[in-house]
Amino acid sequence: MNFLKKYQHTWIIPIYGIFYLWAFQYLEQRNVKPHIIHMKLDDLIPFCEYFIVPYFLWFAYIAVTVIYFSFINKSKQEYYHLVFSLAVGMTTFLVVSYFYPNGQDLRPHLEGNSVFIQLVRYLYHIDTPTNILPSIHVFNSVACCIAVLKHKDFIHEKLVKISTFVLTVLIILATVLLKQHTLVDVAAAFALNAICYQMFYNPHPARAKQPIRAFIK
């Protein structure tokens, strides 16, 4: 009971997670014709199967970051900054995908049987090239990176922040080098991050002392 009371602020994570997975599954399975997003610049970006490694590391990266700010970090304000940023971005993605079904046609024909190619084949099998705008891989990575860079209480702080930044850059590169996303998706994710940053990390002076409470109201 003490554990539940101490961490009652984390209840929103599993509840929203269930909602998001249900909504995403619905969007993936509905029968609608997607609007193809494709820029000429996308064709100039080479395919590189080795970036499947940072692409899959994204799942651990997001999970570890959320767990740290939920259960280890003592600042609940930093926790709310992160989870509200993630929630706004992911909800925006669901709304865009519902009203503007979208997809891409960039995936190449895969040749070879290296472990990296096999992992990319597996990725292509489990993840359809639809509902890509904005890129959640990019948005969540940048949101977590911002939370880490703003935090001051890490052991080996410099190492943690440099490693986080490098991993975030590699994940962003992976989204286009694996032909999972277009440059439009990446740009949209950055724009959405900028909006969330202004909402939660750089609030209006009138609500600067209590940005989260003011936002909820």
- Return the SS3 of 157: helix
Higher per-residue confidence, 137 vs 215:
137
- pLDDT, tens digit, for every residue of 123-145? 999 999 999 999 999 999 999 99
Average pLDDT, integer, range 79-93: 96
Q: Are 76 and 16 in contact (CB under 8 A)?
A: no
pLDDT at residue 210, rounded to an integer: 54
Residues 6+ apart with CB under 8 A from 21: none
Give the phi and the psi of residue 35 in degrees, each rounded to 5.
-80, 125
Which helix (H) or strand (E) segment holds residue 102: the answer is strand 102-103
Residues 6+ apart with CB under 8 A from 53: 116
This prediction's pTM = 0.89
Residue 106: pLDDT band by 50, 70, 90 thresholds?
A: very high
Joined together, the tokens standing for residue 202 give 């750089």
pLDDT at 118 over 90: yes
Average pLDDT, integer, range 3-28: 86
